[in-house]
Structure 1
Amino acid sequence: MQVIVLGGGLMGSATAFFLARRGVRVRLIERGHIGAGATVASFGNIRRTGRALEQLPLAQRSLDLWSRAEELLGRDVEFRATGHLRLIFDEASRADMLRFSEAARPSGLELEHLEPSEIRRRFPGLGPSAIGASYSPRDGSANPRLIGPAFADAAACAGADITAQAGVPKLTKTEAGFEVTTAQGTFGADVLVNCAGAWGAEIARHFGEPVPLAAHGPQMGVTEPLPHRILPVVGIWSQDSGAYLRQVERGNVVFGGGVPRVPVPETGFAQYDPSGLAVQLAKLVQLCPALADVAILRQWSGCEGYLSDMLPVMGASGSTPGLFHAFGFCGHGFQLGPGVGDTMAELITTGTGTTPITAMSIERFAA
């Protein structure tokens, strides 16, 4: 079997890695630089809290792989299980947390429910006006700048071919399988895996499977370095756009959320919209008042694909034998990445999978 994986972000590079580990001949093709798309623009959050229930088995599989990342990849990608603290500031959000906590328990996610006194004792300085919180100690974060190249390099060490700077590929279905023409040459394969992120919908449409995907850009930023005091990833249970933050080991605080995502034009270049910064920062200060007087060093965005039902497309094509999809992760894909790669490799090589992904099938849009 020869497999071509389109897209060199976290999903594609992880899929190539796990295929190569299974002894499959695989080529990873990326139109630009490996890991330089939505992956590098990510917040780096590794959370199961608040995730769609249909994704929790995949998230559990992925978390187990994150915990082995250094062993699997041969380098530190800064995965730290520092915990995920999600603060509550109103009763409607507390009710949301309790409902989610009960529904998620059968999937293996056990949330601690914290009262204000417990928040102050365990996480001083965070959410002083919070009326409660949930805490997931096994979750955490990793470095988005490191993970894509790490998976691609490990895939290459396992025998995969890596083709970057390939430009926009031309795809052809042949009697033997697929032909992919790029700026770096033409390649053939029995199997084609669509991990092209926000551009995944174009590939699906090319093979007769249109999906309702829109490209949007998250609003991200980072502060000056500060003394390291914030250990967990911090978020909000909120009825609107909840903000989130984490402090990296070098001291900078990375933040996002709190404002709507910005539509991305057809060029694919996402823009940061400074008009929402004041609202965003007010929500960050609600999470951590000590951030009120710090300097913002940089702001950015990235091109992410969002499906109409906020679930990704993942699994076999409904129209084209040998075609598989894993795209459109709706801004929630970073945590899922290793699990997506492992699950796709299992599905492609065995024809089945041990992790349920039926709810994410592209055939849900066929009607």
Structure 2
Amino acid sequence: MEVIVLGGGLIGTASAYFLARRGLKVTLVERNRVGSGATVASFGNIRRSGRYLPQLPLAHRSLSLWRKAEAMLGQDVEFRPTGHLRLVFGTIGLASMRSFIEAARPWGLVLDELDMRDVRTRFPGVGPDAIGASFSPEDGSGNPRLIAPAFAAAAARLGAAIVEQVAVESVARTASGFTVETSKGSISAEVLLNTAGAWGAQIAARFGEAVPIEARGPQMGVTEPLPYRILPVVGVWGGDGTEGYLRQVERGNIVFGGGVERSQVALDPGHAKADPARLSLQLRKLLPLLPALANVSIIRTWSGCEGYVADGLPVMGPSATTPGLFHAFGFSGHGFQLGPGVGDVMAELIAVGQTETPLHDFRIERFLPTAC
């Protein structure tokens, strides 16, 4: 079986790798460079805390692959299971945390509830005014700049063709499958996998499947190096006025995001830029998490084009209109942790016709006029 994968972010490259590992002939097509879109804009958070509960089986599957990533891909992609600390600053956040802890347990996720004495003892300098926290010890972070190129290189070693910097001019169903016309020629295959991110809805629309999606850009930044002392990823249970997330890399820099609205992005050309005018507000929002940010220099800011589906859930699974077409796009800023698992699931679904991981809530049929 031959498969064309449209889109070379983490989802597309992971899919190409797992498809090739199953012995399928794969051609991955990317309009820019592998990993240059939403993936490189990512914070690098590998968390299960706070997820939509029916997404947890996929998140568990993905975490198991993150643990194997270095051995599987032949390079260190900086997966660090440092834990995920999520602070509480008020009664709304406390209720949200406790409700999630209780609801997530039957789904196989056990979170520790910490009081502030625990937080101050284990993580000094973090969230001094918080009233509590949850801690997920097996979660952590990875490097968004390394993971998609690593999957692409590993897929290529298994025989996949990685085609970069090509414009997709048309996509059509044929008697034997699909033909994709690009600026570098025509590619044909029996199966088409749409992993085009924010552009994924445009591909789906060509086959009569409308998906309400917006392209947005997060505001990300990184500080000068500081003494290394913050081990876990740090976030917030929201609703009480404090927002944002941060982590410290081993070189000492603090990577941060959140706290401000994501910017609107035009899909043509799809370039997202950080807004310097928002930086001061963003840092003020982050100070309750880490007061030390008040006295550091910001050395770089960036953004990237992410696809946000109207209901906040991705589109995953087979097309509702076209045999041989599959979708995996619209991860709404939550796809980094899921990426390896999504690739594995889509490869399983394409190769054997079914998957053990539940995808019902992510099916594209939910947007069809007759969906119920």
- The TM-score with structure 2 as length reference comes to 0.97
Distance change in 2, residues 1:8/1:169 (3 Å)? farther
State whether residues 248 and 255 of structure 2, in contact with CA within 8 Å, keep that contact through their aligned partners in structure 1.
yes
User: What is the 5 A alignment of 1:1-367?
Assistant: 1-239=1-239, 242-267=243-268, 268-367=270-369
In structure 1, give the amino acid aligned to 2:110. Answer: E
Where 1:166 maps in the other structure, the secondary structure is coil
Q: C-alpha distance in 2, partners of 1:75/1:225?
A: 25
State whether residues 241 and 260 of structure 1, in contact with CA within 8 Å, keep that contact through their aligned partners in structure 2.
no
Where 1:254 maps in the other structure, the secondary structure is strand
Distance change in 2, residues 1:195/1:293 (3 Å)? same
Show CA shifts across 1:304-337 (max 9, x none). Answer: 0001100000000000000000000000000000
Where 2:135 maps in the other structure, the secondary structure is strand
Distance change in 2, residues 1:266/1:28 (3 Å)? closer
Show CA shifts across 1:32-82 (max 9, x none). Answer: 101111101110000001111121110000000000000110100000000
Q: C-alpha distance in 2, partners of 1:105/1:274?
A: 41
Q: C-alpha distance in 1, partners of 2:94/2:242?
A: 16
State whether residues 3 and 27 of structure 1, in contact with CA within 8 Å, keep that contact through their aligned partners in structure 2.
yes
Q: C-alpha distance in 2, partners of 1:347/1:236?
A: 35
Q: C-alpha distance in 1, partners of 2:336/2:343?
A: 12
- Name whichever of 277-286 and 309-318 sits farther off: 277-286
- Name whichever of 73-82 and 271-280 sits farther off: 271-280
State whether residues 9 and 34 of structure 1, in contact with CA within 8 Å, keep that contact through their aligned partners in structure 2.
yes
Q: CA deviation at 1:241?
A: 7.4
Where 2:287 maps in the other structure, the secondary structure is helix
- The TM-score with structure 1 as length reference comes to 0.98
Q: CA deviation at 1:279?
A: 2.0
Where 1:271 maps in the other structure, the secondary structure is coil
- Name whichever of 96-105 and 159-168 sits farther off: 159-168
Q: C-alpha distance in 1, partners of 2:113/2:127?
A: 15
Q: How many residues align?
A: 367
Q: C-alpha distance in 2, partners of 1:11/1:266?
A: 19
In structure 2, give the amino acid aligned to 1:344. Answer: M
In structure 2, give the amino acid aligned to 1:255. Answer: F
State whether residues 242 and 286 of structure 2, in contact with CA within 8 Å, keep that contact through their aligned partners in structure 1.
no
Where 1:94 maps in the other structure, the secondary structure is helix
Q: CA deviation at 1:362?
A: 0.4
In structure 2, give the amino acid aligned to 1:198. Answer: A
User: Runs of 5+ in structure 1 lacking a partner?
Assistant: none
State whether residues 27 and 160 of structure 1, in contact with CA within 8 Å, keep that contact through their aligned partners in structure 2.
yes
Where 1:8 maps in the other structure, the secondary structure is coil
Q: CA deviation at 1:168?
A: 2.8
Q: C-alpha distance in 1, partners of 2:104/2:275?
A: 35
Q: C-alpha distance in 1, partners of 2:72/2:129?
A: 42
Where 2:335 maps in the other structure, the secondary structure is coil
In structure 1, give the amino acid aligned to 2:54. Answer: E
Where 1:297 maps in the other structure, the secondary structure is strand
Where 1:335 maps in the other structure, the secondary structure is helix
Show CA shifts across 1:126-160 (max 9, x none). Answer: 00110000000000000000000000000011111
Show CA shifts across 1:162-201 (max 9, x none). Answer: 1111123411111010001112221100000000000000
Q: C-alpha distance in 1, partners of 2:249/2:169?
A: 37
Q: C-alpha distance in 1, partners of 2:202/2:156?
A: 27
State whether residues 308 and 333 of structure 2, in contact with CA within 8 Å, keep that contact through their aligned partners in structure 1.
yes
Q: C-alpha distance in 1, partners of 2:273/2:78?
A: 27
State whether residues 241 and 257 of structure 1, in contact with CA within 8 Å, keep that contact through their aligned partners in structure 2.
no
Q: CA deviation at 1:250?
A: 1.2
Q: C-alpha distance in 1, partners of 2:5/2:242?
A: 34
In structure 2, give the amino acid aligned to 1:244. Answer: Y
Q: C-alpha distance in 2, partners of 1:66/1:24?
A: 23
In structure 2, give the amino acid aligned to 1:312. Answer: P
Q: C-alpha distance in 2, partners of 1:104/1:365?
A: 27
State whether residues 165 and 184 of structure 1, in contact with CA within 8 Å, keep that contact through their aligned partners in structure 2.
no
State whether residues 31 and 169 of structure 1, in contact with CA within 8 Å, keep that contact through their aligned partners in structure 2.
no
In structure 2, give the amino acid aligned to 1:200. Answer: G
- Name whichever of 162-171 and 86-95 sits farther off: 162-171
- Name whichever of 169-178 and 201-210 sits farther off: 169-178
| Aligned residues with identical type, % of pairs | 64
In structure 1, give the amino acid aligned to 2:298. Answer: I
Q: CA deviation at 1:161?
A: 1.0
Q: C-alpha distance in 1, partners of 2:242/2:212?
A: 22
Q: CA deviation at 1:283?
A: 2.1
Query: Aligned Cα RMSD in Å?
Result: 1.0
